[in-house]
Chain A
Protein backbone atom coordinates (compact mmCIF):
# COMPACT_ATOMS: atom_id res chain seq x y z
CA UNK A 1 0.00 0.00 0.00
CA UNK A 2 2.68 2.43 1.11
CA UNK A 3 4.91 1.44 -1.77
CA UNK A 4 2.01 2.02 -4.19
CA UNK A 5 1.67 5.51 -2.76
CA UNK A 6 5.38 6.17 -3.11
CA UNK A 7 5.27 4.95 -6.69
CA UNK A 8 2.29 7.19 -7.43
CA UNK A 9 4.05 10.25 -5.96
CA UNK A 10 7.20 9.45 -7.90
CA UNK A 11 5.18 9.07 -11.11
CA UNK A 12 3.46 12.42 -10.60
CA UNK A 13 6.72 14.16 -9.80
CA UNK A 14 8.29 12.72 -12.92
CA UNK A 15 5.34 13.87 -15.01
CA UNK A 16 5.58 17.40 -13.63
CA UNK A 17 9.24 17.47 -14.46
CA UNK A 18 8.80 16.35 -18.06
CA UNK A 19 10.25 18.72 -20.67
CA UNK A 20 7.61 20.68 -22.53
CA UNK A 21 7.81 21.69 -26.18
CA UNK A 22 8.21 25.38 -25.48
CA UNK A 23 11.23 24.60 -23.37
CA UNK A 24 12.84 22.79 -26.28
CA UNK A 25 11.93 25.74 -28.48
CA UNK A 26 13.44 28.22 -26.05
CA UNK A 27 16.80 26.50 -25.82
CA UNK A 28 16.89 25.81 -29.56
CA UNK A 29 16.36 29.51 -30.13
CA UNK A 30 19.17 30.27 -27.69
CA UNK A 31 21.45 27.85 -29.50
CA UNK A 32 20.46 29.30 -32.86
CA UNK A 33 21.34 32.82 -31.66
CA UNK A 34 24.96 31.72 -31.29
CA UNK A 35 25.15 31.10 -35.05
CA UNK A 36 22.52 33.43 -36.47
CA UNK A 37 23.22 36.65 -34.57
CA UNK A 38 27.00 36.99 -34.50
CA UNK A 39 26.80 40.80 -34.46
CA UNK A 40 24.76 40.89 -31.28
CA UNK A 41 26.90 38.68 -29.10
CA UNK A 42 27.99 41.43 -26.72
CA UNK A 43 24.49 42.25 -25.61
CA UNK A 44 23.53 38.59 -25.67
CA UNK A 45 26.35 37.90 -23.23
CA UNK A 46 24.97 40.53 -20.90
CA UNK A 47 21.56 38.94 -21.23
CA UNK A 48 22.99 35.56 -20.35
CA UNK A 49 24.57 36.57 -17.08
CA UNK A 50 21.66 38.81 -16.18
CA UNK A 51 19.43 35.81 -16.76
CA UNK A 52 21.57 33.78 -14.40
CA UNK A 53 21.30 36.49 -11.75
CA UNK A 54 17.56 36.62 -12.21
CA UNK A 55 17.35 32.84 -12.07
CA UNK A 56 19.08 32.96 -8.72
CA UNK A 57 16.66 35.58 -7.43
CA UNK A 58 13.73 33.57 -8.76
CA UNK A 59 14.84 30.61 -6.68
CA UNK A 60 14.50 32.78 -3.57
CA UNK A 61 11.55 34.95 -4.49
CA UNK A 62 9.48 32.69 -6.70
CA UNK A 63 10.00 29.46 -4.84
CA UNK A 64 10.58 30.54 -1.28
CA UNK A 65 8.74 33.87 -1.30
CA UNK A 66 11.39 36.07 0.30
CA UNK A 67 11.85 39.65 -0.90
CA UNK A 68 15.52 40.42 -1.22
CA UNK A 69 16.96 43.79 -2.05
CA UNK A 70 20.54 42.88 -1.37
CA UNK A 71 20.63 40.12 -3.85
CA UNK A 72 23.59 41.35 -5.80
CA UNK A 73 25.73 40.86 -2.73
CA UNK A 74 24.86 37.33 -1.89
CA UNK A 75 28.27 35.85 -1.87
CA UNK A 76 28.62 33.85 1.30
CA UNK A 77 28.16 36.47 3.98
CA UNK A 78 24.68 37.29 2.74
CA UNK A 79 23.50 33.75 3.01
CA UNK A 80 25.10 33.49 6.42
CA UNK A 81 23.23 36.46 7.83
CA UNK A 82 20.05 35.39 6.11
CA UNK A 83 20.47 32.00 7.69
CA UNK A 84 20.89 33.58 11.10
CA UNK A 85 17.76 35.60 10.57
CA UNK A 86 15.79 32.65 9.32
CA UNK A 87 16.94 30.74 12.37
CA UNK A 88 15.59 33.37 14.68
CA UNK A 89 12.70 33.33 12.29
CA UNK A 90 10.59 36.23 13.49
CA UNK A 91 11.30 38.99 11.03
CA UNK A 92 8.61 40.74 9.06
CA UNK A 93 8.93 41.55 5.37
CA UNK A 94 10.44 44.91 6.19
CA UNK A 95 13.00 43.42 8.54
CA UNK A 96 14.12 40.99 5.84
CA UNK A 97 14.24 43.81 3.33
CA UNK A 98 16.46 45.88 5.57
CA UNK A 99 18.76 43.05 6.54
CA UNK A 100 19.32 42.02 2.92
CA UNK A 101 19.89 45.64 1.96
CA UNK A 102 22.20 46.18 4.91
CA UNK A 103 24.27 43.17 3.96
CA UNK A 104 24.58 44.45 0.41
CA UNK A 105 25.78 47.83 1.67
CA UNK A 106 28.28 46.29 4.04
CA UNK A 107 29.69 44.17 1.23
CA UNK A 108 30.01 47.34 -0.81
CA UNK A 109 31.80 49.12 2.03
CA UNK A 110 34.16 46.19 2.50
CA UNK A 111 34.99 46.21 -1.19
CA UNK A 112 35.46 49.96 -1.03
CA UNK A 113 37.78 49.75 1.98
CA UNK A 114 40.23 47.20 0.61
CA UNK A 115 41.47 48.91 -2.54
CA UNK A 116 44.52 46.62 -2.61
CA UNK A 117 42.29 43.76 -3.61
CA UNK A 118 39.28 45.41 -5.19
CA UNK A 119 40.67 48.63 -6.62
CA UNK A 120 38.25 50.65 -4.48
CA UNK A 121 35.78 52.86 -6.25
CA UNK A 122 37.71 52.63 -9.53
CA UNK A 123 37.02 48.95 -9.83
CA UNK A 124 39.38 46.27 -11.00
CA UNK A 125 40.55 46.76 -14.52
CA UNK A 126 42.61 44.56 -16.72
CA UNK A 127 41.49 41.29 -15.27
CA UNK A 128 43.36 38.74 -17.32
CA UNK A 129 41.23 35.72 -17.93
CA UNK A 130 42.89 32.53 -18.98
CA UNK A 131 41.49 30.85 -22.10
CA UNK A 132 38.74 28.35 -21.37
CA UNK A 133 40.21 24.86 -21.17
CA UNK A 134 43.38 26.44 -22.46
CA UNK A 135 41.93 26.50 -25.98
CA UNK A 136 39.26 29.16 -26.46
CA UNK A 137 40.49 32.72 -26.11
CA UNK A 138 38.05 35.50 -25.32
CA UNK A 139 37.69 37.81 -28.33
CA UNK A 140 36.45 41.38 -28.40
CA UNK A 141 33.31 40.54 -30.33
CA UNK A 142 32.12 38.30 -27.54
CA UNK A 143 31.64 35.15 -29.59
CA UNK A 144 33.47 32.89 -27.18
CA UNK A 145 32.18 34.60 -24.08
CA UNK A 146 28.59 34.31 -25.27
CA UNK A 147 28.92 30.61 -25.97
CA UNK A 148 30.64 30.19 -22.62
CA UNK A 149 27.95 32.10 -20.71
CA UNK A 150 25.20 30.25 -22.51
CA UNK A 151 26.69 26.87 -21.64
CA UNK A 152 27.12 27.81 -17.99
CA UNK A 153 23.59 29.19 -17.91
CA UNK A 154 22.19 26.04 -19.50
CA UNK A 155 23.99 23.68 -17.14
CA UNK A 156 22.99 25.66 -14.06
CA UNK A 157 19.46 25.94 -15.39
CA UNK A 158 19.24 22.17 -15.70
CA UNK A 159 20.44 21.86 -12.13
CA UNK A 160 17.91 24.41 -10.88
CA UNK A 161 15.16 22.68 -12.82
CA UNK A 162 16.09 19.38 -11.27
CA UNK A 163 16.03 20.91 -7.78
CA UNK A 164 12.76 22.73 -8.28
CA UNK A 165 10.92 19.64 -9.50
CA UNK A 166 12.34 17.46 -6.77
CA UNK A 167 10.44 16.73 -3.54
CA UNK A 168 12.66 19.41 -2.01
CA UNK A 169 11.31 21.95 -4.50
CA UNK A 170 7.75 20.91 -3.74
CA UNK A 171 8.37 21.41 -0.04
CA UNK A 172 9.66 24.93 -0.78
CA UNK A 173 6.40 25.70 -2.55
CA UNK A 174 4.54 24.42 0.47
CA UNK A 175 6.59 26.73 2.73
CA UNK A 176 5.87 29.68 0.48
CA UNK A 177 2.16 28.88 0.40
CA UNK A 178 1.78 28.65 4.14
CA UNK A 179 4.77 28.34 6.43
CA UNK A 180 2.71 27.31 9.44
CA UNK A 181 0.94 24.46 7.67
CA UNK A 182 4.16 23.35 6.04
CA UNK A 183 5.82 23.01 9.43
CA UNK A 184 2.80 21.13 10.77
CA UNK A 185 3.15 18.44 8.11
CA UNK A 186 6.74 17.91 9.09
CA UNK A 187 8.75 20.26 6.83
CA UNK A 188 11.47 22.04 8.76
CA UNK A 189 10.82 25.50 7.36
CA UNK A 190 14.00 27.25 8.47
CA UNK A 191 16.31 24.53 7.23
CA UNK A 192 14.65 24.64 3.80
CA UNK A 193 14.92 28.42 3.60
CA UNK A 194 18.58 28.35 4.57
CA UNK A 195 19.22 25.66 1.99
CA UNK A 196 17.56 27.53 -0.88
CA UNK A 197 19.27 30.76 0.14
CA UNK A 198 22.63 29.10 0.03
CA UNK A 199 21.82 27.46 -3.29
CA UNK A 200 20.69 30.77 -4.78
CA UNK A 201 23.73 32.54 -3.37
CA UNK A 202 25.89 30.07 -5.26
CA UNK A 203 24.05 31.03 -8.47
CA UNK A 204 24.52 34.72 -7.79
CA UNK A 205 28.18 34.08 -7.14
CA UNK A 206 28.58 32.27 -10.45
CA UNK A 207 26.75 35.06 -12.26
CA UNK A 208 29.10 37.60 -10.69
CA UNK A 209 32.12 35.56 -11.72
CA UNK A 210 30.79 35.30 -15.28
CA UNK A 211 30.39 39.05 -15.37
CA UNK A 212 33.96 39.57 -14.24
CA UNK A 213 35.32 37.01 -16.70
CA UNK A 214 33.48 38.21 -19.76
CA UNK A 215 33.97 41.93 -19.22
CA UNK A 216 37.43 41.59 -17.64
CA UNK A 217 36.26 44.23 -15.19
CA UNK A 218 34.82 44.15 -11.70
CA UNK A 219 33.55 47.17 -9.85
CA UNK A 220 31.51 48.21 -6.87
CA UNK A 221 28.57 48.68 -9.18
CA UNK A 222 27.63 45.04 -8.73
CA UNK A 223 26.82 45.74 -5.10
CA UNK A 224 24.69 48.74 -5.83
CA UNK A 225 21.10 49.11 -4.91
CA UNK A 226 20.09 49.95 -8.46
CA UNK A 227 21.49 46.66 -9.64
CA UNK A 228 19.32 44.78 -7.18
CA UNK A 229 16.29 46.83 -8.20
CA UNK A 230 17.01 46.08 -11.87
CA UNK A 231 17.02 42.39 -11.03
CA UNK A 232 13.62 42.63 -9.41
CA UNK A 233 12.32 44.37 -12.50
CA UNK A 234 13.73 41.64 -14.74
CA UNK A 235 11.94 39.02 -12.74
CA UNK A 236 8.68 40.95 -12.59
CA UNK A 237 8.62 41.36 -16.37
CA UNK A 238 9.17 37.65 -16.88
CA UNK A 239 7.05 36.42 -13.98
CA UNK A 240 8.22 34.51 -10.92
CA UNK A 241 8.05 30.91 -9.93
CA UNK A 242 8.57 29.02 -13.19
CA UNK A 243 12.32 29.47 -13.81
CA UNK A 244 11.90 30.84 -17.34
CA UNK A 245 10.70 34.16 -15.90
CA UNK A 246 14.24 35.29 -15.21
CA UNK A 247 15.48 34.23 -18.66
CA UNK A 248 12.65 35.81 -20.64
CA UNK A 249 12.68 38.88 -18.40
CA UNK A 250 16.41 39.32 -18.95
CA UNK A 251 15.96 39.28 -22.73
CA UNK A 252 13.14 41.84 -22.64
CA UNK A 253 14.81 44.03 -20.02
CA UNK A 254 18.14 44.26 -21.83
CA UNK A 255 16.54 44.97 -25.20
CA UNK A 256 14.34 47.62 -23.59
CA UNK A 257 17.28 49.18 -21.74
CA UNK A 258 19.35 49.20 -24.90
CA UNK A 259 16.55 50.81 -26.86
CA UNK A 260 15.76 53.47 -24.23
CA UNK A 261 19.43 54.22 -23.61
CA UNK A 262 19.79 54.90 -27.32
CA UNK A 263 16.88 57.35 -27.21
CA UNK A 264 17.86 59.22 -24.02
CA UNK A 265 21.33 58.23 -22.87
CA UNK A 266 21.24 60.13 -19.60
CA UNK A 267 17.69 59.68 -18.43
CA UNK A 268 16.91 56.06 -19.16
CA UNK A 269 16.37 55.53 -15.43
CA UNK A 270 13.23 57.63 -15.65
CA UNK A 271 11.63 55.26 -18.11
CA UNK A 272 12.67 52.22 -16.13
CA UNK A 273 10.98 53.81 -13.13
CA UNK A 274 7.89 54.55 -15.16
CA UNK A 275 7.71 50.94 -16.30
CA UNK A 276 7.92 49.77 -12.68
CA UNK A 277 5.17 52.14 -11.56
CA UNK A 278 2.92 51.18 -14.46
CA UNK A 279 3.46 47.47 -13.93
CA UNK A 280 2.38 47.78 -10.31
CA UNK A 281 -0.57 50.05 -11.09
CA UNK A 282 -1.84 47.80 -13.88
CA UNK A 283 -1.28 44.80 -11.64
CA UNK A 284 1.53 42.32 -11.76
CA UNK A 285 -0.86 39.44 -12.28
CA UNK A 286 -2.24 40.98 -15.42
CA UNK A 287 1.23 41.78 -16.73
CA UNK A 288 2.22 38.19 -16.01
CA UNK A 289 -0.82 37.03 -17.97
CA UNK A 290 0.84 37.20 -21.34
CA UNK A 291 3.46 34.69 -20.25
CA UNK A 292 0.57 32.73 -18.80
CA UNK A 293 -1.04 32.79 -22.24
CA UNK A 294 2.13 31.48 -23.85
CA UNK A 295 2.32 28.75 -21.25
CA UNK A 296 -1.32 27.79 -21.69
CA UNK A 297 -0.78 27.53 -25.45
CA UNK A 298 2.25 25.33 -24.83
CA UNK A 299 0.20 23.11 -22.56
CA UNK A 300 -2.51 22.74 -25.19
CA UNK A 301 0.03 21.85 -27.84
CA UNK A 302 1.54 19.28 -25.50
CA UNK A 303 -1.85 17.71 -24.96
CA UNK A 304 -2.58 17.55 -28.66
CA UNK A 305 0.80 16.05 -29.49
CA UNK A 306 0.67 13.45 -26.73
CA UNK A 307 -2.98 12.65 -26.02
CA UNK A 308 -2.20 9.92 -23.52
CA UNK A 309 -0.34 12.07 -21.01
CA UNK A 310 -2.37 14.97 -19.69
CA UNK A 311 0.17 17.35 -18.18
CA UNK A 312 -0.29 18.74 -14.72
CA UNK A 313 -0.95 22.48 -15.17
CA UNK A 314 1.75 24.79 -13.93
CA UNK A 315 0.37 27.17 -11.31
CA UNK A 316 0.54 30.80 -12.42
CA UNK A 317 3.57 32.67 -11.17
CA UNK A 318 2.91 34.80 -8.15
CA UNK A 319 5.46 36.28 -5.79
CA UNK A 320 4.44 37.49 -2.36
Chain B
Protein backbone atom coordinates (compact mmCIF):
# COMPACT_ATOMS: atom_id res chain seq x y z
CA UNK B 1 0.00 0.00 0.00
CA UNK B 2 2.63 2.52 1.07
CA UNK B 3 4.94 1.10 -1.56
CA UNK B 4 2.36 1.92 -4.20
CA UNK B 5 2.07 5.41 -2.79
CA UNK B 6 5.84 5.73 -2.93
CA UNK B 7 6.03 4.53 -6.53
CA UNK B 8 3.14 6.80 -7.41
CA UNK B 9 4.91 9.80 -5.92
CA UNK B 10 8.11 8.98 -7.80
CA UNK B 11 6.12 8.66 -11.01
CA UNK B 12 4.26 11.88 -10.33
CA UNK B 13 7.48 13.80 -9.59
CA UNK B 14 8.92 12.56 -12.84
CA UNK B 15 5.83 13.66 -14.73
CA UNK B 16 6.11 17.07 -13.14
CA UNK B 17 9.70 17.59 -14.24
CA UNK B 18 8.74 16.43 -17.71
CA UNK B 19 5.64 18.59 -17.99
CA UNK B 20 6.36 21.79 -16.06
CA UNK B 21 8.12 23.40 -19.03
CA UNK B 22 5.07 22.71 -21.14
CA UNK B 23 2.76 24.26 -18.59
CA UNK B 24 4.81 27.46 -18.40
CA UNK B 25 5.10 27.86 -22.17
CA UNK B 26 1.39 27.25 -22.54
CA UNK B 27 0.54 29.77 -19.86
CA UNK B 28 3.00 32.35 -21.13
CA UNK B 29 2.43 32.33 -24.86
CA UNK B 30 -0.82 30.39 -25.05
CA UNK B 31 1.13 28.06 -27.27
CA UNK B 32 0.10 24.43 -27.62
CA UNK B 33 3.36 22.53 -27.92
CA UNK B 34 2.59 18.88 -28.60
CA UNK B 35 6.25 18.30 -29.44
CA UNK B 36 7.33 18.70 -25.82
CA UNK B 37 7.78 14.94 -25.52
CA UNK B 38 10.27 15.04 -28.39
CA UNK B 39 12.61 17.10 -26.25
CA UNK B 40 12.24 14.60 -23.43
CA UNK B 41 13.09 11.84 -25.87
CA UNK B 42 16.11 13.80 -27.09
CA UNK B 43 17.38 14.05 -23.51
CA UNK B 44 16.89 10.34 -22.99
CA UNK B 45 18.78 9.37 -26.14
CA UNK B 46 21.60 11.84 -25.49
CA UNK B 47 22.16 10.27 -22.08
CA UNK B 48 21.93 6.82 -23.61
CA UNK B 49 24.67 7.58 -26.11
CA UNK B 50 26.88 9.25 -23.50
CA UNK B 51 26.51 6.56 -20.85
CA UNK B 52 26.21 3.36 -22.85
CA UNK B 53 28.51 4.14 -25.77
CA UNK B 54 30.95 6.79 -24.56
CA UNK B 55 31.16 5.28 -21.08
CA UNK B 56 30.46 8.44 -19.11
CA UNK B 57 29.18 8.00 -15.56
CA UNK B 58 25.40 8.22 -15.21
CA UNK B 59 25.52 11.26 -12.95
CA UNK B 60 27.61 13.17 -15.49
CA UNK B 61 25.16 12.26 -18.24
CA UNK B 62 22.19 13.89 -16.53
CA UNK B 63 23.42 17.52 -16.47
CA UNK B 64 24.74 17.16 -20.02
CA UNK B 65 21.32 15.93 -21.11
CA UNK B 66 19.77 18.98 -19.47
CA UNK B 67 22.13 21.47 -21.12
CA UNK B 68 22.06 19.83 -24.54
CA UNK B 69 18.27 19.61 -24.64
CA UNK B 70 17.98 23.20 -23.47
CA UNK B 71 20.25 24.28 -26.33
CA UNK B 72 18.22 22.28 -28.85
CA UNK B 73 15.06 23.81 -27.41
CA UNK B 74 16.46 27.34 -27.71
CA UNK B 75 17.54 26.67 -31.29
CA UNK B 76 14.11 25.36 -32.32
CA UNK B 77 12.37 28.18 -30.50
CA UNK B 78 14.37 30.87 -32.28
CA UNK B 79 14.26 29.32 -35.75
CA UNK B 80 10.88 27.59 -36.01
CA UNK B 81 8.46 28.16 -33.15
CA UNK B 82 8.81 31.91 -33.30
CA UNK B 83 6.86 31.93 -36.58
CA UNK B 84 3.88 30.11 -35.14
CA UNK B 85 3.05 32.04 -31.95
CA UNK B 86 0.56 34.38 -33.52
CA UNK B 87 -1.23 31.61 -35.41
CA UNK B 88 -4.42 29.86 -34.45
CA UNK B 89 -4.42 26.85 -32.16
CA UNK B 90 -5.17 24.60 -35.10
CA UNK B 91 -1.98 25.74 -36.84
CA UNK B 92 0.03 25.21 -33.68
CA UNK B 93 -1.36 21.71 -33.22
CA UNK B 94 -0.61 20.79 -36.83
CA UNK B 95 2.86 22.26 -36.69
CA UNK B 96 3.89 20.50 -33.50
CA UNK B 97 2.32 17.18 -34.53
CA UNK B 98 4.43 17.46 -37.67
CA UNK B 99 7.51 17.94 -35.51
CA UNK B 100 6.56 14.90 -33.42
CA UNK B 101 6.19 12.72 -36.52
CA UNK B 102 9.53 13.92 -37.82
CA UNK B 103 11.31 13.30 -34.53
CA UNK B 104 9.79 9.82 -34.21
CA UNK B 105 10.89 8.80 -37.69
CA UNK B 106 14.31 10.45 -37.36
CA UNK B 107 15.12 8.70 -34.07
CA UNK B 108 13.84 5.45 -35.53
CA UNK B 109 16.22 5.92 -38.45
CA UNK B 110 19.28 6.79 -36.35
CA UNK B 111 18.83 4.66 -33.24
CA UNK B 112 16.54 1.83 -34.35
CA UNK B 113 12.99 1.16 -33.26
CA UNK B 114 13.60 -1.17 -30.31
CA UNK B 115 13.18 -0.14 -26.71
CA UNK B 116 16.49 0.79 -25.06
CA UNK B 117 17.71 1.10 -21.49
CA UNK B 118 20.34 3.37 -20.00
CA UNK B 119 22.88 1.54 -17.84
CA UNK B 120 22.42 2.79 -14.30
CA UNK B 121 25.14 2.32 -11.67
CA UNK B 122 24.75 -0.70 -9.43
CA UNK B 123 24.41 1.56 -6.38
CA UNK B 124 21.00 2.58 -7.66
CA UNK B 125 19.68 -0.87 -8.40
CA UNK B 126 17.47 -2.90 -6.13
CA UNK B 127 15.35 -1.80 -3.23
CA UNK B 128 15.53 -1.73 0.55
CA UNK B 129 12.99 -1.59 3.34
CA UNK B 130 12.26 1.23 5.76
CA UNK B 131 9.61 0.47 8.38
CA UNK B 132 8.23 -2.27 6.18
CA UNK B 133 7.91 -0.03 3.13
CA UNK B 134 9.74 -1.26 0.06
CA UNK B 135 11.76 1.61 -1.35
CA UNK B 136 13.33 1.33 -4.78
CA UNK B 137 16.70 3.06 -4.76
CA UNK B 138 16.27 4.47 -8.23
CA UNK B 139 12.84 5.79 -7.40
CA UNK B 140 14.19 7.36 -4.25
CA UNK B 141 16.81 9.10 -6.38
CA UNK B 142 14.09 10.38 -8.69
CA UNK B 143 12.10 11.75 -5.78
CA UNK B 144 15.18 13.46 -4.34
CA UNK B 145 16.29 15.02 -7.62
CA UNK B 146 12.81 16.06 -8.68
CA UNK B 147 12.00 17.35 -5.21
CA UNK B 148 15.12 19.51 -5.21
CA UNK B 149 14.29 20.77 -8.69
CA UNK B 150 10.77 21.64 -7.65
CA UNK B 151 11.98 23.60 -4.64
CA UNK B 152 14.56 25.37 -6.79
CA UNK B 153 11.97 26.25 -9.42
CA UNK B 154 9.59 27.56 -6.80
CA UNK B 155 12.36 29.68 -5.27
CA UNK B 156 13.38 31.06 -8.66
CA UNK B 157 9.80 31.90 -9.48
CA UNK B 158 8.97 33.50 -6.17
CA UNK B 159 12.09 35.34 -5.13
CA UNK B 160 14.26 36.28 -8.08
CA UNK B 161 13.92 39.17 -10.44
CA UNK B 162 13.57 36.83 -13.41
CA UNK B 163 10.83 34.95 -11.56
CA UNK B 164 8.80 38.08 -11.00
CA UNK B 165 9.25 39.06 -14.66
CA UNK B 166 8.08 35.62 -15.69
CA UNK B 167 5.04 35.73 -13.42
CA UNK B 168 4.16 39.19 -14.68
CA UNK B 169 4.42 37.98 -18.28
CA UNK B 170 2.22 34.97 -17.58
CA UNK B 171 -0.40 37.08 -15.85
CA UNK B 172 -0.70 39.63 -18.61
CA UNK B 173 1.84 39.72 -21.46
CA UNK B 174 0.60 43.04 -22.82
CA UNK B 175 0.90 44.94 -19.58
CA UNK B 176 4.24 43.26 -18.91
CA UNK B 177 5.48 44.53 -22.27
CA UNK B 178 4.20 47.96 -21.41
CA UNK B 179 6.26 47.91 -18.23
CA UNK B 180 9.41 47.30 -20.23
CA UNK B 181 9.75 43.58 -19.71
CA UNK B 182 11.14 41.82 -22.77
CA UNK B 183 8.51 39.11 -22.86
CA UNK B 184 10.01 37.39 -25.90
CA UNK B 185 13.40 37.03 -24.20
CA UNK B 186 11.74 35.77 -21.03
CA UNK B 187 9.84 33.29 -23.12
CA UNK B 188 12.89 32.06 -25.03
CA UNK B 189 14.77 31.44 -21.81
CA UNK B 190 11.78 29.72 -20.23
CA UNK B 191 11.28 27.57 -23.29
CA UNK B 192 14.93 26.52 -23.23
CA UNK B 193 14.86 25.69 -19.53
CA UNK B 194 11.55 23.88 -19.92
CA UNK B 195 12.96 21.79 -22.78
CA UNK B 196 16.06 21.11 -20.70
CA UNK B 197 13.96 19.91 -17.80
CA UNK B 198 12.02 17.69 -20.17
CA UNK B 199 15.34 16.29 -21.42
CA UNK B 200 16.47 15.64 -17.86
CA UNK B 201 13.14 14.00 -17.13
CA UNK B 202 13.48 11.84 -20.22
CA UNK B 203 16.96 10.75 -19.13
CA UNK B 204 15.81 10.01 -15.58
CA UNK B 205 12.60 8.38 -16.68
CA UNK B 206 14.06 6.07 -19.31
CA UNK B 207 14.35 3.39 -16.64
CA UNK B 208 10.73 3.64 -15.53
CA UNK B 209 8.85 4.87 -18.59
CA UNK B 210 10.90 3.04 -21.18
CA UNK B 211 12.58 4.76 -24.10
CA UNK B 212 11.79 4.10 -27.74
CA UNK B 213 11.09 6.28 -30.77
CA UNK B 214 7.36 6.49 -30.08
CA UNK B 215 8.02 8.07 -26.67
CA UNK B 216 6.70 11.53 -27.65
CA UNK B 217 3.43 10.09 -28.93
CA UNK B 218 2.97 7.82 -25.94
CA UNK B 219 3.61 10.38 -23.24
CA UNK B 220 2.36 13.52 -24.94
CA UNK B 221 -1.06 12.66 -23.60
CA UNK B 222 0.21 12.40 -20.03
CA UNK B 223 1.93 15.77 -20.23
CA UNK B 224 -1.16 17.41 -21.62
CA UNK B 225 -3.30 15.82 -18.95
CA UNK B 226 -1.01 17.20 -16.26
CA UNK B 227 -1.15 20.65 -17.79
CA UNK B 228 -4.87 20.77 -18.41
CA UNK B 229 -5.77 19.30 -15.05
CA UNK B 230 -3.29 21.48 -13.19
CA UNK B 231 -4.02 24.71 -14.97
CA UNK B 232 -1.34 26.96 -16.40
CA UNK B 233 -1.24 29.90 -14.06
CA UNK B 234 1.35 28.59 -11.57
CA UNK B 235 3.65 25.63 -11.08
CA UNK B 236 1.93 24.43 -7.93
CA UNK B 237 -1.11 23.43 -10.01
CA UNK B 238 0.81 21.16 -12.39
CA UNK B 239 2.78 19.82 -9.42
CA UNK B 240 -0.34 18.75 -7.56
CA UNK B 241 -1.83 17.41 -10.79
CA UNK B 242 1.33 15.39 -11.52
CA UNK B 243 1.21 13.77 -8.10
CA UNK B 244 -2.50 13.06 -8.46
CA UNK B 245 -2.04 11.53 -11.91
CA UNK B 246 1.08 9.61 -10.89
CA UNK B 247 -0.49 8.05 -7.82
CA UNK B 248 -3.81 7.41 -9.58
CA UNK B 249 -2.07 5.75 -12.50
CA UNK B 250 0.16 3.48 -10.41
CA UNK B 251 -2.67 2.60 -8.01
CA UNK B 252 -5.07 2.06 -10.91
CA UNK B 253 -2.67 -0.25 -12.69
CA UNK B 254 -2.05 -2.18 -9.46
CA UNK B 255 -5.57 -2.55 -8.10
CA UNK B 256 -7.64 -2.66 -11.29
CA UNK B 257 -5.17 -3.77 -13.97
CA UNK B 258 -8.05 -4.62 -16.30
CA UNK B 259 -8.94 -0.99 -16.63
CA UNK B 260 -5.36 0.03 -17.33
CA UNK B 261 -5.04 3.64 -18.35
CA UNK B 262 -8.77 4.20 -17.97
CA UNK B 263 -8.43 5.72 -14.53
CA UNK B 264 -6.48 8.81 -15.49
CA UNK B 265 -8.42 9.53 -18.67
CA UNK B 266 -11.62 9.37 -16.71
CA UNK B 267 -10.20 11.64 -14.02
CA UNK B 268 -9.15 14.09 -16.70
CA UNK B 269 -12.49 14.19 -18.48
CA UNK B 270 -14.42 14.58 -15.23
CA UNK B 271 -12.13 17.37 -14.06
CA UNK B 272 -12.35 19.17 -17.37
CA UNK B 273 -16.10 18.94 -17.55
CA UNK B 274 -16.46 20.25 -14.00
CA UNK B 275 -13.64 22.78 -14.18
CA UNK B 276 -12.66 23.53 -17.79
CA UNK B 277 -9.84 25.86 -16.75
CA UNK B 278 -8.14 23.21 -14.62
CA UNK B 279 -8.31 22.26 -10.97
CA UNK B 280 -6.19 25.04 -9.60
CA UNK B 281 -6.89 27.86 -12.01
CA UNK B 282 -7.46 31.27 -10.58
CA UNK B 283 -10.93 32.68 -10.99
CA UNK B 284 -9.85 35.59 -13.18
CA UNK B 285 -9.48 34.26 -16.69
CA UNK B 286 -7.51 35.89 -19.44
Contacts and interface: CB of A to CB of B under 8 A. Distances in A.
Chains A and B are bound partners: yes
Interface stretch (A1-9, A99-107, A168-176): A99-107
B209 interface: no
B162 interface: no
Contact of B272 (A69, A99, A274): A99
B211 interface: no
Judged by DSSP, the binding face of A is helix
Contact of A98 (B80, B91, B228, B262): B228
Contact of A276 (B94, B105, B109, B268): B94
B224 A98 contact: yes
A259 B260 CA distance: 38
Interface in B191-238: 217, 221, 224-225, 228
A177 to B, nearest CB: 14
A125 interface: no
A139 B142 CA distance: 57
B4 interface: no
Given A88-B273, A267-B109, A270-B105, A284 B91 contact: yes
A109 B94 contact: no
Judged by DSSP, the binding face of B is helix
B161 interface: no
Contact of A269 (B101, B261, B273): B101
A109 B228 contact: no
Interface string A101-133: 111011001001100000000000000000000
B68 interface: no
Nearest to A228: B97
User: Contact residue range for chain B?
Assistant: 35 or more
B100 interface: yes
B83 to A, nearest CB: 6
Interface string A56-98: 0000010000010100000000000100110010111111011
B265 A280 contact: no
Interface residues of A, number: 47
Given A102-B269, A109-B262, A226-B217, A269 B104 contact: yes
Contacts of A67: 89-90, 93
Interface string B50-74: 0000000000000000000000000
B101 A276 contact: yes
Given A112-B260, A280-B91, A91 B105 contact: no
B98 A277 contact: yes
Given A91-B272, A94-B89, A280 B228 contact: no
A99 B102 contact: no
Interface of B: 26, 32, 80, 83-84, 87-95, 97-106, 108-109, 217, 221, 224-225, 228, 258-262, 265-266, 268-269, 272-273, 276-277
18 contacts: A92-B277, A94-B32, A95-B228, A97-B224, A99-B272, A99-B273, A106-B265, A232-B97, A266-B108, A269-B104, A273-B98, A273-B102, A274-B98, A280-B87, A280-B94, A280-B98, A281-B95, A320-B89
